[in-house]
Amino acid sequence: MIEFDQVTKVYNGDVKAINNIDLTVNDGEFVILLGPSGCGKTTLLRMVNQLETMTEGDIRVQGKSISELNKIEMRRNIGYVIQSNGLFPNMTIEDNMMIVPDLLGWDRVKKRERFNYLSDLVGLAPDEFRNRYPHELSGGQQQRVGVARALAADPPVMLMDEPFGALDPIIRTSIQDEFLKIQREVKKTILFVSHDIDEAVRMGDRIALLRGGEIMQYDTPTNLLNRPSNEFVSEFVGQDRVLKSMSLYTVAHLMDTMNLKAADQTITDTKKVDMHTSLRNVIAMLLNREADQIVATNETGEIAGRLSLGLIEEFLEKEVKTKA
């Protein structure tokens, strides 16, 4: 658990980067810090592992005030992905990735295994990259090494500063998926900086939207999108925020609330989607006209009923009670 308790940060006596922030990240929670450039995301993150001092307030990690913790030890237990990857130019990719295990005195075999595992995880062929040096990698590849490096010693807490910023959309999506998969299993406590609303919605359990060093809204993605608490939030999440929020609802959600119409047995060109499909995908399929009718299946694979845009429209009406 990470708790920010009335934290304020003033640079050089006059730049108030963080203004009296309260924020709690629960154990195993994935929290996104979102906001425009310069709003203080990096600053907030770096105060946790004491790379930046606080001006006022307190931060507690696992219940203990960070001022009482041993800096070095604490940092080894917190994975940190720096905004600009910060790889060590003098070390090979393997050495870079294994630096913390190395400091912790892992043996060769264990390090090798871990390297292979992590490289695969971030989509880099271990043997191809092992002995290369950072400058021999593309920007996106470097960034992935940075992420893997932070994961190396499997720290329970992770601080990640725009870790996927330099990745192209395809790799970005796939690495996000991988990451979510691990997260579902290991439940790390993660504070993750992003300025990409789609990424935030996709990845975060909760999102803290910042502006000028203050939290505008700290909420679940669904609420942020559907119940923006003020003008700034609703503008930041965008006009199509409800469309975005559709990726957070699945067919199952829809079926909980609504009764599906019966499928038309006479139509042969039918496409089945399972209950875990997001409504956003369903909307896309419907608009794409991928089949003459699209039907949802239940857990046993039986057809539960037919999906239509009209139905989704009704679902929204019921589900999203407050209007923008």
Ligand X SMILES: Nc1ncnc2c1ncn2[C@@H]1O[C@H](COP(=O)(O)OP(=O)(O)OP(=O)(O)O)[C@@H](O)[C@H]1O
HSE-CB at 193 with a 13 A cutoff on CA atoms is: 25
- Does 276 bind a second copy (CB under 8 A)? Our answer is no
Residue 20 buriedness (CB in 10 A; 0-12 / 13-18 / 19+): middle
41's contact among ligand X, another protein, a second copy, none, with CB below 5 to 8 A by partner kind, is: ligand X
Residue 311, token pair as written in the block: 């139905």
The 2-21 site mask, x for binding ligand X (CB under 6 A), equals ---------xx--x-x----
Whether 308 contacts 283, CB under 8 Å? no
The 185-214 site mask, x for binding a second copy (CB under 8 A), equals ----------x-------------------
290's contact among another protein, Mg ion, a second copy, none, with CB below 5 to 8 A by partner kind, is: a second copy
- Does 24 bind another protein (CB under 8 A)? Our answer is no
CA distance 51 to 29: 22
Q: How far is the CB of 39 from ligand X (least distance, A)?
A: 4
- 234-266 burial string, b = 16+ CB within 10 Å, else e? bebbeeebeebbbbbbbbeebbeebebeebeee
HSE-CB at 184 with a 13 A cutoff on CA atoms is: 7
List binders of another protein among 76-105 (CB under 8 A).
76-78, 80, 82-92, 99-100, 103
**Nearest Cα to 3, choosing from 42, 51, 55, 44?**
44
**Nearest Cα to 141, choosing from 166, 162, 158, 116?**
166
List binders of another protein among 34-63 (CB under 8 A).
46, 49, 51
Q: Which residues pair with 8 in a beta bridge?
A: 56
- Does 43 bind ligand X (CB under 6 A)? Our answer is yes
Residue 108, token pair as written in the block: 């060769």
Please tell me whether residue 261 adopts helix, strand or coil conformation. strand
E strand or H helix at 16: strand 15-25
- Does 130 bind another protein (CB under 8 A)? Our answer is no
Q: How far is the CB of 41 from ligand X (least distance, A)?
A: 4
- Does 84 bind ligand X (CB under 6 A)? Our answer is no
Q: Which residues pair with 214 in a beta bridge?
A: 211
Please tell me whether residue 162 adopts helix, strand or coil conformation. coil
72's contact among another protein, ligand X, Mg ion, none, with CB below 5 to 8 A by partner kind, is: another protein
The residue behind tokens 């700034």 is 232
CA distance 324 to 315: 16
246's contact among a second copy, ligand X, Mg ion, none, with CB below 5 to 8 A by partner kind, is: a second copy
Contact segment (CB under 6 A) with ligand X among 38-46, 145-153, 184-192, 315-323 equals: 38-46
List binders of a second copy among 158-177 (CB under 8 A).
168-170
Q: How far is the CB of 38 from Mg ion (least distance, A)?
A: 8
Whether 295 contacts 273, CB under 8 Å? yes
76's contact among Mg ion, ligand X, another protein, none, with CB below 5 to 8 A by partner kind, is: another protein
Q: Which is nearer to another protein, 87 or 210 (CB)?
A: 87
- Does 136 bind another protein (CB under 8 A)? Our answer is yes
- Does 15 bind a second copy (CB under 8 A)? Our answer is no
**Nearest Cα to 88, choosing from 146, 168, 169?**
146
Among positions 68, 287, 300, 301, the unique one binding a second copy when judged by CB under 8 A? 287
Residue ranges that bind a second copy, judged by CB under 8 A: 36-37, 168-170, 195, 238-243, 246, 280-281, 283-284, 286-291, 308-310, 312-313, 316-317, 320, 323-324
